[in-house]
Structure 1
Amino acid sequence: MKSLKELCENVGIKIEFEMQISNLNSLEDANENELSFCIKECDTLKTTKAGAVLISEKLANLLPTNVKAVICEDPKYIFALFSKVFSKDLIRVGKDAIIGENTTIMPNVYIGKDVSIGSNCTILAGAYIGDGVCIKDNVIIYPNVTIYNDSVIGNHCIIHAGSVIGSDGFGYASNSKGHFKIYHNGYVELQDFVEIGSCVCIDRAVFSKTLIKTGTKIDNLVQIGHNCVLGQGCLVVSQTGLAGSSELGNAVVMGGQSATSGHLKIGDGAIIAARGGVSKDLAGGKVYGGFPIMEQSEWLKMQAKLKRINK
């Protein structure tokens, strides 16, 4: 627990109340002992259960009466400074790994503290398994895979060479003073039967987790941003990029070099054609393409019309 008054004084903010803060969290998930932040009006601002919120004076009146307002000009910047205070230790003191039966670990594999590895796993040379990682049964990890602290790898998963699971997301608070790192204190979870191609990067969450659900398959050279959720049975083709907090429903297909702009939802069974650029929520069960994104049949008609204009 940390003194909120002391934290604020360290960054030049004066508050008239005192409370103990256990952690930072989102407006949606924070409890009465946690601190959150807000940069624009949203529905969750009016229903948050956070103990206190970093917020501008303009929006402070929208908070529930039992939530304390920490008034500041740049809430995201102050949040970034606080995120370092609450960041987890990079190297921890803990217990040696627990390794299940019939698991093969090749030479030159690093395994951190408080790690759990299940039965019938194969971990090939050069892999890095950080502190607090949980790897379940029948998992194959190919050479030079890096699994950052606290990641969870489900049963029957395959992770191909050179992939990185759980690195920090690309999150900064930017102002006239520069770009200030937001420390990501969440983790990544792969559910069962997930396969990750070579040189894939899956970022850990700011809060909570980045989640890849059961049966999803990800091709080589894919980027999954922080706090993304991929539903069951998705297919994500090579060179696709998902910006932070993108949510894919079940059985979504993302074609090669397609992308999302983040903080959006794609419904179950949607197909995004190659190089499609998703910048808004999409209903499930349809095929989309182009940029700005539209139904693929409309995109093809538009391209045909443009071709005739040039003649």
Structure 2
Amino acid sequence: MLLSQAIKQTFEGYMTLDSEIKKDFELCGIAPLESANETQISYIDQDKYSHKLADSRAGAVLLRKELLDCVPPHIQPLVVDNPHLAFALLSHLFARKGFSACENPSIDPLANIAPNVHLGKNVRIGARTILMPGVVIGDNVEIGEHCKIYPNVVIYRDTIIGNRVNIHAGCVIGCDGFGYAHTNDGRHIKIEHNGIVVIEDDVELGANNTIDRAVFGQTLIKKGVKIDNLVQIGHNCVVGEHSILVSQVGLAGSTTTGRNVVMGGQAGTGGHIHIGDFVQVAGRGAVGKNLPPHTKWGGHPLMELDEWMKFFVSLRRMVKKQNPK
């Protein structure tokens, strides 16, 4: 579909384009500025990302009028009042089906597939991998060797899973992230998540985990990660090698961690946070800023762990003095 046709089809009833399309082209997808090519469209919703325009190869970019002077000559500027909403509308053109009837599976003869397993198109299953009853596998999923996929796990399309990975009952891998743009009259427009999930070797996921697919690119669980039950990992997160996430941890979108990070039960992060190597976050710790390597943290608001423990002891003493009985 031509860029002009895509805009007309998706913007109608929501917004107008405030610039002329001088160079129309066949639109093949949407992508971040740093990875987009000449057939793709990107967007900027915050001024702090404008420096990325200079090196981008995107065919067109959605942006506000104030940033028009930052656009290099080879990129088609598309001026709109709300670039985030425009991006959400265009994302619907590239949404793909996730679950088809079984077609052309590549299953190693040594794999063990239980009854009542659904396999989508172009699924690949490695040697000695076990799929237990009720597992649902979407299109183009790859699962390596010596994996155990327990009952009622759902793995959405295009997910890549390495070797020796255990995924316990009830996990959902590759579902859409929680992302919406908002109209002036308060409607919520879904952002289609067209990225994937990658799980590397020797990972174990406890029961009822959810790992969201990326908006574009990938959500990545690196090798050796161990995750307890009931953990939520948002879109475009990266969990570093050999990290441990205890039950009910929640990582907001685009959180990244270094290696060997440990997060206690019910700890959580805000979006776009980085946690350095070998960091420990105590249970219920609320991470709202980047954390340097080899440090320990706790509390809400977050403090270095020693400081938080002293604060908690002082608080208890204060309460006892006010209520001696």
Equivalences for residues 91-130 of structure 1 within 5 A: 91-92=99-100, 95-130=103-138
Q: Is the 8 A contact 2:99 2:156 kept in 1?
A: no
Task: Give aligned pairs, total.
Answer: 310
Residues of 2 paired with 1:91 and 1:165: CA distance?
13
Counterpart of 1:226 in structure 2 is: 235
- Give structure 1 stretches of 5+ with no counterpart: none
Change (3 A) 1:45 1:309: farther
Residues of 1 paired with 2:42 and 2:295: CA distance?
37
Please tell me whether residue 267 in structure 1 is matched to residue 276 in structure 2.
Answer: yes
Residues of 2 paired with 1:51 and 1:166: CA distance?
28
Counterpart of 2:207 in structure 1 is: 198
Residues of 2 paired with 1:93 and 1:86: CA distance?
21
Counterpart of 1:26 in structure 2 is: 32
Superposed displacement of residue 173, structure 1: 0.3
Q: Is the 8 A contact 1:111 1:131 kept in 2?
A: yes
Counterpart of 1:167 in structure 2 is: 175
Alpha-carbon displacement from aligned partner over 1:126-167 (angstroms, at most 9, x marks no partner): 000111100111110000000001111110000000000000
User: Which residue of 247, 252, 263 maps to 2:261?
Assistant: 252
- Which deviates the most, 8-17 or 160-169? 8-17
TM-score (norm 1): 0.96
- Give structure 2 stretches of 5+ with no counterpart: none
Residues of 2 paired with 1:193 and 1:143: CA distance?
19
Counterpart of 2:196 in structure 1 is: 187
**What is the identity, as a one-letter code, of the residue corresponding to 1:303?**
F
Counterpart of 2:249 in structure 1 is: 240
- Which deviates the most, 86-95 or 73-82? 86-95
Counterpart of 1:79 in structure 2 is: 87
Q: Is the 8 A contact 1:47 1:63 kept in 2?
A: no
Counterpart of 2:219 in structure 1 is: 210
The higher radius of gyration belongs to 2
Residues of 2 paired with 1:164 and 1:212: CA distance?
14
Please tell me whether residue 153 in structure 1 is matched to residue 161 in structure 2.
Answer: yes
Identity of aligned residues (%): 44
3-state SS, counterpart of residue 193 of structure 1: coil
Superposed displacement of residue 102, structure 1: 1.4
Change (3 A) 1:219 1:181: same
- Which deviates the most, 199-208 or 286-295? 286-295
Alpha-carbon displacement from aligned partner over 1:252-290 (angstroms, at most 9, x marks no partner): 011100000011111010001100001111101111111
Q: Is the 8 A contact 1:200 1:221 kept in 2?
A: yes
